[in-house]
Amino acid sequence: MLIPALDILDGQVVRLFKGDYGQVTRYGDDPGARFAAYAQAGARYLHLVDLSGARNAAERQWAALREVIGQSPLPLQVGGGVRCFEDVQQLLALGAERVVVGSLAIKHPALVAGWLDALGPEKLVLALDVRFDGHDWYPASHGWQEKAEQNLDSLLAYFMDAGARHFLITDIDRDGTLGGANAELYANLTRRYPGMALQASGGVASLAELPALKAAGVKGVILGKSLLDGKFTLEEALSCWQNA
């Protein structure tokens, strides 16, 4: 599945370069219209991130989230700065089909495992943003500034044992760069964890990458900057994915 994604910051559709709030590209102030266009083009699922809330919980864009989720013609997964179970409950109450949990899954895995037990595996997507340190892959949290104590494999094994199914893995050094997705990383993960529904994110720049990602066994590919910058259309991407 191809999943169009929008990040919103202070009410604007934006993309960050490698997660840097100092390197912002803006794409207008109507995320609802963009999601409607993606639905018309054939999307079946959408991804929404509240970057304001991710930066500061006090800046969470509840009004914008309520409007975009409420008007969405398709189911969404929503994330960005989820810090407590009440955040998860409120996003689900607004109509999100799944809530994306990132830093807390890295810093407090037992807490998030409890949420999985309470809600079931279909309501949460665990987002692990990872970087290769020269020896192994490690998740990073809090704006990618803090390296996790556990490596990626340890966290994945823990959460799979806890019943998690949906994971969104982003190669930090490729996110927002259009530098190409890391199909090799995803192929290794799906081979080692066959029960995982893996979503690939970060760096997709061309249609030529989609067959390799599909062959890697991913269940979803997040498409953000490539669609916003017109590298290809969603219709072209869907055709390429279906024929791969």
Active-site positions read 7, 129
3-class secondary-structure state, position 232: coil
Quickly list H helices, the chain.
Answer: 31-41, 51-55, 62-71, 85-94, 103-107, 109-119, 152-161, 183-192, 209-215, 225-228, 234-243
- Residue 34: name the closest of 64, 9, 4, 58 by CA: 4
Round the CA-based radius of gyration of the chain to a whole number and report it: 16
How far is the C-alpha of 13 from the C-alpha of 155, rounded, in Å?
A: 31
